[in-house]
């Protein structure tokens, strides 16, 4: 009986040993990363599938709901490209109420369609078009028509004290210069306030300069927007040593449509157009004359959104999507279209929570499995849709938010993926063109850690490197 027991035990041990040996080597390499002490507290979710046959290659907690951070932009940009199409254009137009009479326009209107990349250069072009139309005087007021947007200027679940950082921009149907202001500062002579200027130059933003240039010592200089009192005043305070170098900071702008209107007003007057009226919000009248339009194709907007993880662009895309559903371009109507893409990818939107377009919201809950399903849906569409989307993603070691990752990795230039980072969250999802020229779709979520996300990023990069080398 004892010999029989020993024989059975040897068979079991041998079978277990064989099982361990038969486990794919790349999985063994992945497993070696997952036993890190980092995961005694942090959580990880991984999904990887072969794009050629949709076969699951790797899955670990892949159905667990996680915060995607900026991986949310994959859902937003993919939905925008799929439903709006590559020929979709954002537009910003100028109108004169009624007709132009004797070089005079009555009220002047600006109507936007959520163009996130409208700049001062574009604004100057509109001013030039007004002059080209022969208008020398505006007899009434300057209005912005933002009637298609809702009144919510932040996303659902955004954190209040991220203000006034520009990564949490104020939202409006009419945007300019990323709805931000650059504040440039340098020391003056000792005893005087620091020299401060704005870009773009304007008379709309007020400066309260309580700073002082000092001979030496440690800098205590601070400059910010008066976000606590909910206004656009810029406040400078503290001491700036005279040997300090010229520097700058950026802040978000409240009610960016008024910023847009006042910049337009100042430039019209500078161009010699007589204007003594006010600026305000009003819907376009029935009787109007179109003066000019600035159009912007969706493709560069999507590229910018994914390459540099532009939150404003993502939110404006979500609101452009809403126009398919309703005349009211709200985030909720845009999310309906994102849910439609989730259904097309073979998942149930009720299993997830989509709160915004950018991933800033801590209310978002998705899974690694969902991201790979959506990416597989993209890869299986007819060209040029897959290529356009993949080209919008950062390339490992080359550009965008992956420019400084995979620098010395064999996977450099072979990882096309969207990063995502908010406090305690790091995500990476996209495509790997492997050493064997296979396309692998992957999603890696790591969250619930304290401090820097470097260790999480290093683990993600190593997983991608293993997939590149082994598959």
Any domain includes 286: yes
Q: CA 405, 410, 413: angle at the middle one, nearest 5?
A: 60
Q: At what angle do helices 368-379 and 331-344 cross, to 10 degrees?
A: 70
Any domain includes 170: no
DSSP 458: H
Sheet architecture: strand order including 234-241:
207-214, 234-241, 222-225
Q: Tokens for 428? A: 């990476």
Specify whether the CB–CB gap between 46 and 58 falls below 8 A: yes
Any domain includes 171: no
Place of tokens 């909720």: 332
Q: What are phi and psi of 313, to 5 degrees?
A: -60, -40
Q: Are residues 345 and 451 in the same domain?
A: yes
Any domain includes 421: yes
Domain membership of residue 216 as a residue range? 178-252
Any domain includes 11: no
* CA distance linking residue 73 with residue 77, whole number of Å: 6
Q: Are residues 216 and 352 in the same domain?
A: no
Q: Are residues 200 and 102 in the same domain?
A: no
Please list the pLDDT of the chain residue by residue as tens digits (471 residues).
545 444 444 445 454 544 445 678 888 999 999 999 999 999 999 999 999 999 999 999 999 999 999 999 999 999 999 999 999 999 999 999 988 888 999 999 999 999 999 999 999 999 999 999 999 999 999 999 999 998 889 999 999 999 999 999 999 999 999 999 999 999 999 999 999 999 999 999 999 999 999 999 999 999 999 999 999 999 999 999 999 999 999 999 999 999 999 999 999 999 999 999 999 999 999 999 999 999 999 999 999 999 999 999 999 999 999 999 898 999 999 999 999 999 999 999 999 999 999 999 999 999 999 999 999 999 999 999 999 999 999 999 999 999 999 999 999 999 999 999 999 999 999 999 999 999 999 999 999 999 999 999 999 999 999 999 999
Q: Are residues 136 and 284 in the same domain?
A: yes
Q: Are residues 360 and 450 in the same domain?
A: yes
* CA distance linking residue 325 with residue 323, whole number of Å: 5
Any domain includes 172: no
Q: Are residues 401 and 449 in the same domain?
A: yes
Strands, E assignment, 161-317: 180-186, 195-199, 207-214, 222-225, 234-241, 247-252, 274-275, 279-281, 288-297
Number of structural domains in the chain: 3
* CA distance linking residue 362 with residue 69, whole number of Å: 8
Specify whether the CB–CB gap between 435 and 410 falls below 8 A: yes
Place of tokens 């890696």: 444
* CA distance linking residue 343 with residue 338, whole number of Å: 9
- CA-based nearest residue to 413, from 427, 403, 421: 403
Helix count (H) and strand count (E) of the chain?
Answer: 11, 19
3-state secondary structure of 212: strand
Q: Tokens for 198? A: 């704005």
| Buried/exposed 183-194: b ≥16 CB within 10 Å, e otherwise | bebbbbeeeebb
Q: Are residues 278 and 208 in the same domain?
A: no
* CA distance linking residue 332 with residue 150, whole number of Å: 10
CA distance between the termini of the chain: 48
Residues 6+ apart with CB under 8 A from 334: 317, 318, 319, 320, 321, 322, 325, 357
Q: Are residues 206 and 320 in the same domain?
A: no
* CA distance linking residue 14 with residue 17, whole number of Å: 5
User: What pLDDT does residue 25 have?
Assistant: 87
């Amino acid at each position: 009986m004892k010999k029989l027991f020993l024989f059975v035990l040897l068979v079991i041990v041998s079978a277990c040993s064989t099982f361990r040996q038969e486990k794919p080597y790349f999985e063994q390499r992945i497993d070696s990363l997952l036993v890190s002490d980092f995961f005694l507290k942090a959580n990880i979710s991984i999904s990887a599938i072969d794009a050629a046959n949709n076969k699951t290659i790797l899955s670990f907690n892949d159905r667990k709901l996680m915060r995607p951070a900026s991986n949310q932009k994959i859902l937003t940009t993919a939905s925008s490209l799929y439903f709006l199409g590559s020929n979709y254009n954002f537009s910003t137009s100028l109108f004169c109420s009624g007709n132009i009479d004797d070089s005079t326009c009555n009220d002047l209107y600006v109507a936007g369609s959520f163009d996130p990349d409208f700049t001062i250069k574009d604004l100057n072009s509109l001013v030039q078009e007004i002059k080209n139309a022969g208008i020398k005087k505006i007899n009434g007021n300057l209005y912005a028509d933002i009637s298609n947007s809702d009144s919510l200027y932040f996303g659902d679940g955004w954190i209040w004290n991220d203000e006034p950082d520009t990564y949490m921009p104020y939202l409006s149907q009419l945007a300019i210069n990323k709805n931000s202001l650059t504040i440039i500062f340098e020391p003056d002579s000792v005893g005087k306030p620091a020299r401060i200027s704005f870009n773009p130059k304007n008379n709309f933003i007020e400066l309260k300069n309580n700073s002082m240039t000092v001979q030496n010592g440690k800098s205590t200089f601070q400059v910010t927007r008066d976000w606590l009192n909910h206004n656009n005043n810029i406040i400078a305070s503290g001491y700036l040593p005279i040997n300090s170098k010229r520097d700058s900071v950026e802040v978000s702008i409240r009610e960016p449509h008024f910023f847009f209107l006042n910049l337009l007003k100042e430039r019209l007057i500078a161009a010699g157009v007589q204007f003594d009226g006010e600026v305000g919000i009003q819907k376009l009248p029935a009787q109007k004359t179109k003066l000019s339009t600035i159009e912007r194709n969706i493709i560069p907007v999507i590229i910018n959104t994914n390459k540099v993880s532009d939150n404003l662009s993502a939110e404006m895309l979500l609101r452009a999507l809403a126009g398919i559903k309703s005349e009211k371009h709200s985030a909720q109507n845009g999310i309906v279209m994102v849910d439609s893409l989730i259904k097309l990818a073979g998942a149930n939107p009720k299993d997830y929570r989509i709160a915004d377009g950018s991933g800033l919201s801590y209310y978002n809950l998705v899974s690694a499995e969902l991201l790979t399903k959506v990416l597989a849906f993209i890869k299986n569409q007819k060209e040029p849709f897959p290529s356009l989307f993949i080209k919008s993603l950062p390339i490992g070691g080359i550009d965008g938010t992956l420019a400084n990752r995979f620098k010395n990795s064999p996977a450099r230039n072979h990882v096309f993926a969207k990063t995502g980072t908010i406090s305690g969250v790091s995500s990476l999802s996209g495509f790997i063109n492997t050493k064997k020229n296979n396309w692998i779709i992957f999603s890696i979520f790591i969250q619930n850690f304290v401090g820097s996300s470097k260790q999480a990023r290093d683990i993600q990069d190593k997983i991608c490197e293993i997939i590149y080398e082994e598959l």
